[in-house]
Amino acid sequence: MNRTMQIWRTNRDGSDLRQLTSDVENSQPSLSPDSKWIVYVKDGEQGPRLWRMSIDGSKPTPLLEHRSYNPRVSPDGKYIAYLESSETSPLHIAIIPFAGGAVQKTLALPERPGPNLASNMTWTPDAKAIIYRDTVLGIWRQRLDQEKPELIRGSEDMRLTQLNWSLKGKDLAYTRCANMQDILLLQNSKYQ
C-alpha cells in the first residue's frame, strides 16, 4: 500500500474528521486568518509547489510554478511568505500576494555554520517581520523593511523545535529541547 501525507480537517472537539486532499503528497498547510483558505505544498512530479484551496477542500489552485516550501499566510491575509531555491539561487524567503503572482520581496537567510532552513517560520502579529528558528541554534527576526535578519539576543544557545505567537499576539511561545547522549554497556551479548 502506497501511503502519502495528506491534509485533513476536523472540528476543535475532534468531530467531523475529513480528508481534504488525496492525490500525490500534500503537506505544510497554513490557514488564512479568515479561516476560509488553506495554502499548502503539493509535491508532485515537478517537485513541491504552493497551492491554495477552500477550507472545505474545493477549488484547489496552483499559486507558483517553481519549487516552494513552508508557506505562511500573513496575519492580515494579504501575503504568503515561503521558502524557495533554484539552481542559481540559494535557499531564501520569498513573499507573494495571497492571490498568487509575482514575487514582491526576497529575503536572504543568514550565513551560519551548517544549513539554515528557516524552520518554523512565522509572521509577527503586525505582519512587519518574519520570525524563524535557525536549523542549528537561535531565533532570527527578518523585518520586511530591512535587508538582513537579526539574531534575537539570548536565543543563540537555545535548541528550539516550535515557535508560535500567543492568541493576543503579545508573546512568542517556543519549545526548548536538549541533546542527550547515553552510553550503553551490553553484557552477555553475542555478535553473530
Whichever domain contains 63, its CATH number is 2.120.10.30
Residue 187, in any domain of the structure: no
Q: Measure the CA dihedral 87/137/169/73, to 10°.
A: 10
Does 73 share its domain with 51? yes
Count structural domains, the chain: 2
CB-CB contact of 152 with 140 (8 Å): yes
Does 142 share its domain with 165? yes
Does 148 share its domain with 121? yes
Q: Which amino acid is it at 118?
A: A
Residue 186, in any domain of the structure: no
Grid cell 542559481 in the structure block, residue? 88
Summarised one tens digit per residue, pLDDT across range 68-108 is 999 999 999 999 999 998 777 788 899 999 999 999 999 98
C-alpha distances in Å from residue 165, one per residue of 67, 122, 158, 175, 178: 28, 8, 18, 12, 22
Summarised one tens digit per residue, pLDDT across range 135-146 is 666 788 999 999
Strand-pairing partners, residue 175, are 162
**Which residues contact residue 96 at a Cβ distance below 8 angstroms, ignoring those fewer than 6 apart?**
63, 64, 79, 80, 82, 102, 103, 104
Summarised one tens digit per residue, pLDDT across range 116-140 is 567 778 999 999 999 988 766 678 8
**Which residues contact residue 56 at a Cβ distance below 8 angstroms, ignoring those fewer than 6 apart?**
9, 20
Does 117 share its domain with 104? no
CB-CB contact of 52 with 41 (8 Å): no
Does 103 share its domain with 122? no
Does 160 share its domain with 89? no
- Please state the φ and ψ torsions of residue 74, each to the nearest 5 degrees: -65, 155
Distance CA 74, CA 89 (A): 24
pTM above 0.85, yes or no: no
> What pLDDT does residue 1 have?
45
Q: What is the DSSP string of 21-56?
A: --SSEEEEEEE-TTSSEEEEEEEETTEEEEEEEETT
Residue numbers of the domain that contains 120? 110-180
Q: Which amino acid is it at 167?
A: L
